[in-house]
Structure 1
């Protein structure tokens, strides 16, 4: 059997390509080393819940053309990603925003937050950070770094921030608005029914070989 295209990987990229090629009359063989289609967005149903096997995936874009395209294959819920961090039994909004700063310092305005961060950064006296801890302190000051960056980073890397290179953190997103939305994109959500159904629809009528 001969095909116009061999597509390696049945994730979103490969599935979209195969789907569009088929619409133009081309034949595709899609192969995947995993035992299922979907790549990293594969969802498996566990007791009626769509579990993202390889970590949570939230679809977000500001491109209306992209949003309209993906909505051909699924209806999306109105999920807004607004994570919170727990530090010593207190909850703080992420990314760091005015809700975070208001709770942390009992302030109300962006100007107060900017002044507090600038004051704490100046107090560090760090001009050339030698490690990740000094880098974090020089970017956001003591309170934000110790409550919201240090523990998470050390857990992620399995070592102290002082033992990590400064370049790991280039910047820390700080927002001076009362908006808890993690993404700035206009369109956002998770497909009702899971991502696997989207891939199944895209690959309908296309030969696929897993494993």
Structure 2
């Protein structure tokens, strides 16, 4: 399935993204993408919020987005990108790219919403060239048992239906390890800077090779 229509979420998400950018998420996106080179595949590009933050050292970005309305908005965002961006329909579980064809794969607030993290990460590994890296910016499981329980309730009930399949409490770092990826850089932060069920984020990079 190359397209996945979520019309309500697709219209609400850009407003959420603009609010997050104004609150400082744009700086996090710049940190996420800093130093990238060569060919990049971005999974779940949304409305193209990352595009303006790619460094000029990137040769080309292939941006994958399953939601039709968000692809339209992403196309409009291409003009703000300092690099060449091509947008295609597709899903994380079946990337439209050949084996070992990109230098980096980018996930930004996507691994929380994919149906199967391990399948998505296996696809990312498949398309990476030897020595390539995965960059990730994701919200994850809370660091307190109480908030983690709240996340579990939200994820089992209303949250995924309201926010495009998003899950607040996934163990994304564990998923990276299970995919035999070694996290080389990791930053944990709260956004917003308060202990809420949706505030726990990680930002970093990983390469093939398993746990350190």
What's the TM-score once normalised by structure 1's chain length?
0.19
Give the strand-richer structure, 1 or 2.
2
What's the TM-score once normalised by structure 2's chain length?
0.19
Q: Over alpha carbons, which structure has the higher Rg?
A: 1
If asked which structure has higher relative contact order (CA below 8 Å, sep 6+), I would say: 1
